[in-house]
Chain A
């Protein structure tokens, strides 16, 4: 599958031997043979593949700084990579880049219960942080479904969320500090074990910047005490509309559940077949609501939620009575992606966020598109925070199907924006959605973001070709700000 990436600098490719030789003076961990490099040619968006000139695996911040400084001086592009689980192609290499693999930064440096935080290297898996502190009943709240494998540094890059974001926020709300290295080798500490920062909130800006502004070499996250009681309830509906209305009513009644997930019928069947979660199979939509707090609080809220469900014509409900049962409720949902793998040779997972009250509208539109493109789709939805994950199924052996699946996905995201939503809730833009940025932003908006990129990386060497459209200007949509016939920024570089 061809992917348009920034223009290749052939002089860099021709200088490969010299570059590898120079970098080997900084670290011996360099992979550059064709065979060994193959595992690094893609990430979680595996339809795109590209080999870099070399993979460098530093072990210390000092090495990262020296590598970046060297590349900065020699004008060599660098693509940072954590665990490589990202779904938007954010760490797909370029033909003339050094892939900076952070895999050896895999240690938890400090579990600081007094300050209720953990200091970790960026390639520590998300779940490993919780595992490191759960012996004292603490945990790290953001829990993307790939939490077993995805790295905490990658979570910072993509501002990852998970099923509990409604109550506990995403990475940005749980991140206290980072150490980053800028493209010119400058090492900076942002934030720390205190709350908030003085000066510009660079920590907030770095979070979700998809590896374009700096390379994270250390992360400090806050940890929380596990709630005393956690219970979940399964609620079935005969229509998606009813499930969406139920979610809106729960929020309107002032209840903030720890998580609220909706699956449509195709996904209910697929996940139940796969995970034997015990889901009802005769409903059109299944809502999982998880509540946490003290025992009495959770019991009270479960009753309230069930009352609201009844008012919204729920046809099925079951509340968990043990932690084992609650985990079983989640087992199907958490296996959604794997379960879809059984239904079709390939699928792409989309990731848009929409206002909660547009759920039925958007799902109706997706079903229409499914018929138009003649491709099956299953839907799961972080209903509490409006984050939709349609899984579009196709067969990559048929090149036309991939193209159809991509167009299908793009149409979904455009519709998300049209109803007041955004292109990505938690997977990021990467290469996957960069050409759709003009659906949300005009030329001024994009230019402001590029100016920021320029402030951090004026040579545009760090992860170029990601996030921002490179095939056309957003001005083509005719929305550029022209004042009295003049472009306000004639001197600024355009992309």
Chain B
């Protein structure tokens, strides 16, 4: 059983890692432990950042918030909502796929995984919203990078490399995040009865317009039953286009969509329904308690149709998000998953396993790209932060 250390502040983290560095003791770093992503690692000690929580600064008019890593995501989102703001990257709540209920975890964990919600293609990824951070690296040194301003070219942009590094480079002790105003109004334009080829075609038409679509998803008819809204038809495929902004503008843009797709069976979800619809999508609620692999497949839009065609006989559940840039897939076995990985590599994309059984997480590579030069550079980069590889070793890359 791993011993868990709960530091109270940055100095505690520094002392703990410095001691582990001297003793060559690897450390598993966790936030709330809500996301079981990456390879399973064996460490005799765990550093939990759960007790370092709270909002340090929040200046709504400056559009940033400074928080401690163990702060619950819910807590941050509630504080922002009071000022009519939110996190523009729409963080996924992966509790549904792991335990069948909400468990959004800590902000530190969310940042470490760099997962972004439906608006990613318009509003940027989570990494685009991290303005700066403080952390302790693998030698125990307290480091920082960035600041609280949006425009910043002062030294290397370490916020990017630390975001999505799954705690393998440093233990984050403070995070500065950009925040966004909540749109005045939003509605979802729904088109039914499409196949994936038609859906991708509609994505392209809608996103090639000036309509500023901020959500674009597609569910095939065998994957819509989880949606809870009574108004959403459950016997046919669903394509949803989200429009946000001042009310007159949303109404005007919905009218444009009505004209563009006047030959299709369509309807509109109101603001209340829109919030629920996109929350269920963002949180992958359709895969709640799944026993299978849950994967994110990222490809150029033009290759996504080929992907679905290539694997259409495998009978796996999927839905498209980000206007067809990604597919969230439920895959039944290793063989199918391997084939999909190979396809992604050949077609300028990648496959990330978000949920897998322990056996897979102990044995298999987490990442798709096996380019040896990339791996060498990644290893050197890891060593530049963590020279003895004691922080979450092997979690991202086998042997790193």
List A residues at the B interface (Cβ < 8 Å): 112-116, 137, 158-159, 161, 165-166, 169-170, 172-173, 182, 186-188, 192-205, 207-210, 213, 225-228, 248-249, 251-252, 254-256, 293-297, 300-301, 353-357, 382, 385-387, 420-429, 437, 440-441, 444-449, 451-452, 454-456, 467, 481, 483, 488-489
A297-B245, A421-B147 known; A251 vs B140 contact (CB < 8 Å): no
Q: Name the distance in Å between B394's Cβ and chain A's nearest Cβ.
A: 14
- Is B301 in contact with A115, judged by CB distance below 8 angstroms? yes
Known: A195-B298, A208-B157. 15 other contacts (CB 8 A): A116-B207, A172-B157, A193-B348, A195-B121, A202-B161, A204-B160, A254-B182, A294-B211, A294-B253, A297-B246, A387-B149, A455-B384, A488-B18, A488-B139, A488-B141
Q: Which residues of chain B have C-beta atoms less than 8 A from A114's C-beta?
A: 204, 301-302
- Is B144 in contact with A425, judged by CB distance below 8 angstroms? no
Residue of B whose beta carbon sits closest to that of A248: B61
Q: Which residues of chain A have C-beta atoms less than 8 A from B371's C-beta?
A: 188
- Is A356 in contact with B62, judged by CB distance below 8 angstroms? yes
Q: Which residues of chain A have C-beta atoms less than 8 A from B18's C-beta?
A: 483, 488
Q: Which residues of chain A have C-beta atoms less than 8 A from B124's C-beta?
A: 169, 173
List B residues at the A interface (Cβ < 8 Å): 14-15, 18, 59-63, 84-85, 114, 116, 120-121, 124-125, 127-128, 137, 139-145, 147-161, 163-165, 169, 180-182, 184, 204, 207-212, 245-246, 248-249, 252-253, 298-302, 322, 325-326, 348-350, 352, 367-369, 371, 373-374, 377-378, 380-385, 396-397
- Is A451 in contact with B153, judged by CB distance below 8 angstroms? no
Q: Which residues of chain A have C-beta atoms less than 8 A from B151's C-beta?
A: 161, 165, 170, 353, 382, 385-387, 425-426
- Is B381 in contact with A427, judged by CB distance below 8 angstroms? no
Q: Name the distance in Å between A147's Cβ and chain B's nearest Cβ.
A: 16
- The complex places the Cα of A495 from the Cα of B174 at a distance, in Å, of 27
Q: Name the distance in Å between B86's Cβ and chain A's nearest Cβ.
A: 11
Q: Name the distance in Å between B376's Cβ and chain A's nearest Cβ.
A: 8
- The complex places the Cα of A187 from the Cα of B182 at a distance, in Å, of 43
Q: Name the distance in Å between A190's Cβ and chain B's nearest Cβ.
A: 8
- Is B209 in contact with A225, judged by CB distance below 8 angstroms? yes
- Is B210 in contact with A429, judged by CB distance below 8 angstroms? no
- The complex places the Cα of A251 from the Cα of B155 at a distance, in Å, of 28
A254-B184, A296-B249, A355-B59 known; A452 vs B140 contact (CB < 8 Å): no
- The complex places the Cα of A451 from the Cα of B249 at a distance, in Å, of 50
Q: Name the distance in Å between A12's Cβ and chain B's nearest Cβ.
A: 26
Q: Which of A159, A192, A228, A437 interacts with B300 by CB under 8 Å?
A: A192
- The complex places the Cα of A200 from the Cα of B381 at a distance, in Å, of 9
- Is A293 in contact with B249, judged by CB distance below 8 angstroms? yes
- Is B374 in contact with A225, judged by CB distance below 8 angstroms? no
Name the residue among A115, A169, A207, A428 with the largest chain B CB count within 10 angstroms: A115
Q: How many A-B residue pairs have CB under 8 A?
A: 268
Q: Which residues of chain A have C-beta atoms less than 8 A from B114's C-beta?
A: 196, 201
Please name the 5 residue pairs, one residue from A and one from B, whose CB atoms are nearest each other, closest first.
Answer: A204-B160, A254-B181, A297-B249, A425-B151, A193-B300
A205-B161, A421-B147 known; A441 vs B155 contact (CB < 8 Å): yes
- Is B161 in contact with A204, judged by CB distance below 8 angstroms? yes
Residue of A whose beta carbon sits closest to that of B120: A195
- Is B150 in contact with A165, judged by CB distance below 8 angstroms? yes
Q: Name the distance in Å between B58's Cβ and chain A's nearest Cβ.
A: 13
- Is A445 in contact with B154, judged by CB distance below 8 angstroms? no
- The complex places the Cα of A441 from the Cα of B182 at a distance, in Å, of 34
Q: Name the distance in Å between B202's Cβ and chain A's nearest Cβ.
A: 14
Q: Which of B140, B207, B252 interacts with A483 by CB under 8 Å?
A: B140
- The complex places the Cα of A297 from the Cα of B204 at a distance, in Å, of 23
- The complex places the Cα of A183 from the Cα of B130 at a distance, in Å, of 29
Residue of A whose beta carbon sits closest to that of B344: A194
Residue of A whose beta carbon sits closest to that of B168: A200
- Is B249 in contact with A448, judged by CB distance below 8 angstroms? no
Residue of B whose beta carbon sits closest to that of A428: B153
Q: Which residues of chain B have C-beta atoms less than 8 A from A192's C-beta?
A: 300, 348-349
- The complex places the Cα of A293 from the Cα of B247 at a distance, in Å, of 13
Q: Name the distance in Å between B238's Cβ and chain A's nearest Cβ.
A: 22
A195-B326, A196-B116, A382-B151 known; A208 vs B210 contact (CB < 8 Å): no
Q: Name the distance in Å between A390's Cβ and chain B's nearest Cβ.
A: 15
- Is A481 in contact with B381, judged by CB distance below 8 angstroms? no
- Is A455 in contact with B381, judged by CB distance below 8 angstroms? yes
- The complex places the Cα of A255 from the Cα of B397 at a distance, in Å, of 42
